[in-house]
């Protein structure tokens, strides 16, 4: 960017936290209604950043205490939003609280933010810690290492080919060692360079899909494009988005889930997108009880077919790319998360010395009880319920996720922001908005009418 814009320097994430928070408050805070829920939601979104910064600081300084504080801070804010999403359906009165800027101004601001964020992705080279997971996955793919439970546990559940892509951290709180970056760049093979290019393209396309899907939901389902644009701009403003812009494992599932909601009137398409999100990063599998309950009265067969067909296609892709049957079975286990919770390799909050990993199991049990309850109650779900409960499930998964749980905010942020801005959607139920089921029986006409 410095070649195009004279003396351009990226804004440090800590500085961007202050600037973006001030701008977000100026755009979306309702100064005439200080105690509105919108203002409380905005405060929670702003408070996500200090926890993320504390985790990054603790990792750089090798300080478990700082990381502990950061994770606890993130979990506290995440817990608030999960409770907020669980009770969102009870908020029947939803006054229209539009942003403090015109639609044209929001579009200009969103486009400018998107251009700068995408430019950062294109101009960022992965560092040594960004390619560590990709190097392990590359060895497994090339059969240079045995596929065992320990290696699968270190990589975590998800689609194996996604782990081949390096992480691209577009913003770092502390500047990395430039010599290490040059050394890695010189030692890259042609395959590694292809993986980097693929990661950049997928990250950019996923971010564009999140923004476009958010605007489309506001236009089609909220019947107010300005609300969708406001949610997209607030997503682009958040410090988390600036830091994790190039993380495919963060943004790709979020893009798929956003478009699944945008296409909810086409159960086959929504099912295919949810199935693709499940195959990509595994954790959206816990959305199935909720989404099946939404489509139960109409659309369940089409939704199930979409999920099943996509998963079978992903399994076929693994079979084609696997060098032998042993690698295929190992990658299949990784895709579907076939590993006991007690055997998983922990990173992040549950790996800190002050936290006993045994308490992760009751947290997981409580999460499973929550998603089971969502499948049963409320019995008749509308689009608003589907969105808020989807956000609640993705928020809840952060508490027990073994690999840096709490930091994968992109999974739930687009849906959370749409719920914050959404109007009343009680009339958007599957039985009312979906077409009739396939192979519906035709009404037989009397023989006399057919002859006439």
How do the residues of the chain divide into helix, strand and coil, expressed in percent and rounded to 5? 70, 0, 30
Q: Over the range 396-420, which residues count as b (16 or more CB within 10 Å of their CB) and which as e?
A: bbbbbbbbbbbbbbbbbbbbbbbbb
Distance CA 270, CA 266 (A): 6
Let me know if residue 440 belongs to a domain.
no
Closest CA to 86 of 407, 422, 371: 371
Question: Domain tally for the chain?
Answer: 1
Let me know if residue 5 belongs to a domain.
no
Let me know if residue 4 belongs to a domain.
no
Instruction: Return the number of other C-beta atoms located less than 10 Å from residue 445's C-beta.
Output: 10
**In this model, does residue 65 exceed pLDDT 60?**
yes
22-61 pLDDT tens trace: 999 999 998 888 888 899 999 999 999 999 999 988 887 8
Instruction: Return the number of other C-beta atoms located less than 10 Å from residue 436's C-beta.
Output: 8
Let me know if residue 450 belongs to a domain.
no
Residue 378: asked if its preceding bond is cis (omega within 30°), the reply is: yes
- What domain range includes position 210? 13-435
Instruction: Return the number of other C-beta atoms located less than 10 Å from residue 325's C-beta.
Output: 9
Q: Which helix (DSSP H) or strand (DSSP E) does residue 78 occupy?
A: helix 64-86
Let me know if residue 444 belongs to a domain.
no
Let me know if residue 60 belongs to a domain.
yes
279-331 pLDDT tens trace: 898 999 999 999 999 999 899 999 999 999 999 999 998 888 777 787 788 78
Q: At what angle do helices 190-220 and 103-122 cross, to 10 degrees?
A: 170
- What DSSP assignment string belongs to 306-353? HHHHHHHHHHHHHHHH-SSHHHHHHHHHHHHT-S-GGGSPPBGGGGST
Let me know if residue 31 belongs to a domain.
yes
What are 382's strand-pairing partners?
429
- What DSSP assignment string belongs to 139-150? HHHTTSS---HH
Contact 264, 432 (CB under 8 A): no
According to the model, what pLDDT value does residue 70 have?
94
Let me know if residue 449 belongs to a domain.
no
215-245 pLDDT tens trace: 999 999 999 999 999 999 999 999 999 888 8
Kindly indicate the confidence band of residue 180, based on its pLDDT and cuts at 50, 70 and 90. Answer: very low
């Amino acid at each position: 960017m410095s070649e195009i814009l004279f003396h351009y320097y990226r804004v440090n994430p800590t500085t961007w936290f202050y600037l973006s928070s001030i701008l977000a408050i100026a755009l979306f805070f309702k100064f005439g209604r200080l105690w509105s829920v919108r203002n409380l939601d905005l405060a929670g979104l702003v408070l996500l950043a200090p926890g993320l910064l504390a985790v990054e600081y603790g990792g750089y300084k090798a300080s478990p205490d700082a990381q502990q504080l950061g994770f606890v801070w993130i979990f506290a804010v995440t817990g608030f939003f999960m409770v907020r999403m669980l009770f969102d359906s009870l908020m029947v009165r939803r006054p229209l609280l539009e942003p403090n800027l015109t639609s044209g101004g929001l579009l200009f601001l969103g486009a400018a933010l998107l251009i700068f964020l995408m430019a950062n992705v294109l101009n960022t080279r992965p560092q040594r810690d960004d390619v560590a997971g990709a190097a392990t996955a590359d060895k497994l793919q090339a059969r240079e290492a045995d596929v065992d439970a320990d290696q699968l546990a270190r990589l975590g559940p998800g689609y194996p080919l996604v782990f081949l892509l390096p992480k691209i951290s577009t913003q770092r709180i502390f500047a990395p060692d430039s010599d290490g970056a040059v050394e890695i760049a010189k030692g890259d093979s042609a395959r590694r360079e292809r993986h980097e290019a693929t990661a950049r393209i997928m990250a950019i396309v996923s971010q564009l899909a999140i923004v476009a899907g958010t605007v489309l939901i506001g236009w089609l389902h909220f019947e107010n494009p300005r609300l969708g644009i406001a949610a997209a701009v607030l997503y682009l403003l958040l410090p988390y988005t600036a830091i994790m812009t190039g993380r495919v494992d963060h943004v790709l599932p979020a893009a798929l889930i956003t478009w699944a909601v945008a296409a909810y009137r086409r159960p086959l398409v929504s099912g295919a997108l949810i199935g693709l999100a499940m195959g990509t990063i595994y954790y959206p599998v816990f959305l199935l009880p909720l989404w099946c309950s939404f489509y139960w009265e109409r659309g369940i067969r089409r939704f199930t077919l979409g999920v099943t067909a996509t998963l079978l296609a992903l399994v076929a892709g693994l079979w084609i790319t696997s060098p032998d049957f042993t690698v295929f079975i190992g990658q299949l286990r990784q895709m579907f998360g076939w590993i006991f919770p007690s055997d998983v390799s922990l990173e992040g909050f549950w790996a800190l010395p002050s936290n006993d990993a045994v308490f992760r199991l009751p947290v997981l049990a409580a999460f499973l009880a929550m998603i089971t309850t969502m499948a049963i109650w409320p019995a008749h779900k509308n689009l608003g319920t589907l969105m808020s409960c989807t956000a609640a499930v993705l928020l809840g998964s952060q508490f027990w996720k073994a690999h840096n749980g709490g930091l994968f905010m992109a999974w739930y942020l687009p849906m959370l922001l749409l719920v914050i801005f959404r109007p009343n959607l009680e009339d958007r139920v599957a039985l009312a908005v979906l077409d009739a089921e396939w192979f519906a029986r035709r009404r037989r006409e009397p023989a006399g009418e057919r002859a006439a």
